Amino acid sequence: MKYYIIAGEASGDLHASNLMKALKEKDPQAIFRFWGGDQMQAVGGTLVKHYRDLAFMGFWEVLTNLRTILKNISFCKKDITAFQPDLIVFIDYPGFNMRIAQWAKKQGFATHYYISPQIWAWKENRIKAIKRDVDAMYVILPFEKDFYEKKHHYKVHFVGHPLLDAIAQRKEVNEAAFRTENNLDNRPIIALLPGSRKQEISKMLKIMLSIVNDYHQYQFVIAGAPSIEFDFYQKFIKDENVHFVSNKTYDLLSVAYAALVTSGTATLETALLNVPEVVCYKGNWISYHIAKSIIKLKYISLVNLIMDKPVVKELIQGELTKANLEKELNKISTYAHRYEVFKDYVFLREKLGGEGASNRTAELILKK
């Protein structure tokens, strides 16, 4: 079969690549054409556009890049028409994907959505469009099934979280070799995960690095996004106690003592790799206050949302200061606090279900 897949972010690239592998196992004749990134490209098929050219974060940023976004939507429709896929798989990225789904449904294409838009957080009225335009929805968070089926009477498939697959499939890390390869000494490592987009990295990395000089007992390592060159990060690095690795986030977290993490999928990845963390978020002032007025959630990190309690500390907007970062890093360095966090991480894994999300989703797609 011919599959057209649209992923607009780094996390979508990861999950889509694992879904593609599962589809290839069950459908050896699979032909892929996709919007995504390096990990999808490694599986095989034709990359149409890379997610680094698509990701605009926040209300203000979307508004100022609206012309580019509209051009991409128009191009995508033409590309799908030329390819004539047997089905389209949308991976999260709702602002773009919901527009394409509406058009695709009218054109008679089969529409499958893997990793639901977070309409439980905001834009709940999107349920009308989902019911109308999406043939099958595959959700990855345990509370989403009840949200769709009990509240909105729309059948979905809970397939488990694909991060469990991605983490289980990673190669074991030789810590001594990792330290040697990356010029690290024997001090505990604090991982810095400033995000995957240049605009968020610019905001987050400067404040994360502000604490480095006060913690000589640690060494700090930046997890570089695969699509962003080292030169971009280099301008923020002013201290010899700051190191950099590119496209090795799981390896880094596997050997890290603690982490400072930009809100997003990385907060859950960090927890599943058993690393105590401080969740950080600071956005454009206008975008943040618009979002705050619309989004009514107790937490911003997936860890806390899934557990429905503050397992990890969230420092948001004005709370994200050097003093608060130091306070929270000191806290997660204590034995008692780390013990409680590790206990909560065990329950988090249980809530997410077992491994096999990619395989379950592939099987369901092929049954349709």
Query: What would the pLDDT profile of 257-290 be if each residue is shown by its tens digit?
Result: 999 999 888 999 999 999 999 999 986 655 555 5
Strands (DSSP E) contained in the chain are: 2-7, 31-36, 46-50, 87-91, 110-114, 136-139, 157-158, 189-193, 219-224, 242-246, 258-262, 277-281, 313-316
Residue 339 lies in a domain: yes
**What's the whole-model pTM score?**
0.80
Task: Kindly report the average pLDDT of the chain as a whole number.
Answer: 91
Measuring CA to CA, how many Å separate 19 from each of 151, 162, 304? 28, 9, 26
Residues 26, 105: one domain?
Answer: yes
Residues 53, 71: one domain?
Answer: yes
Reading the block at residue 336, the tokens are: 């008692």
The tens digit of pLDDT for each residue in 221-260 reads 999 987 799 999 999 998 999 999 998 999 999 999 999 9
Helix (H, G, I), strand (E, B) or coil at 288: helix
Average pLDDT over residues 180-193: 97
Residues 239, 336: one domain?
Answer: yes
Residues 209, 98: one domain?
Answer: no
Phi then psi for residue 181, to 5 deg, are -60, -30
Residue 168 lies in a domain: no
Residue 67 lies in a domain: yes
Residues 140, 239: one domain?
Answer: no
Reading the block at residue 68, the tokens are: 């580019």
Helix (H, G, I), strand (E, B) or coil at 34: strand
- Asked if residue 261 lies in contact with residue 201, where contact means CB atoms within 8 angstroms, the answer is no
Residues 288, 271: one domain?
Answer: yes
Give the C-alpha separation, 225 to 26, whole Å: 31
Residue 112 lies in a domain: yes
Residues 178, 50: one domain?
Answer: no
Residue 51 lies in a domain: yes
Long-range contacts (CB closer than 8 Å, 24 or more residues apart) made by 79-85:
79/33, 79/48, 80/4, 80/104, 80/107, 80/109, 81/107, 83/2, 83/4, 83/33, 84/2, 85/2, 85/3, 85/4, 85/33, 85/109
Is residue 344 scored above 60 in pLDDT?
Answer: yes
Is residue 51 scored above 80 in pLDDT?
Answer: yes
Residues 84, 210: one domain?
Answer: no
Is residue 61 scored above 60 in pLDDT?
Answer: no
Residues 235, 334: one domain?
Answer: yes
Residue 166 lies in a domain: no
Residue 167 lies in a domain: no
Residues 256, 268: one domain?
Answer: yes
Residue 274 lies in a domain: yes
Domain limits at 149?
Answer: 2-161+355-367
Average pLDDT over residues 167-176: 91
- Asked if residue 16 lies in contact with residue 92, where contact means CB atoms within 8 angstroms, the answer is no
The tens digit of pLDDT for each residue in 302-326 reads 999 999 999 999 999 889 999 999 9
Reading the block at residue 151, the tokens are: 């509240």
Residues 331, 363: one domain?
Answer: no
Quote the pLDDT of residue 166: 86
Count of residues making up the chain: 368
Residues 194, 48: one domain?
Answer: no
Number of domains in the chain: 2
Please enumerate in sequence order all residues whose Cβ is within 8 A of that of 177, keeping only pairs 6 or more positions apart, or say none: none
CATH number of domain containing 113 = 3.40.50.2000
CA-CA-CA-CA torsion for 253, 259, 260, 266, nearest 10 degrees? 40
Is residue 193 scored above 60 in pLDDT?
Answer: yes
Give the C-alpha separation, 249 to 266, whole Å: 9
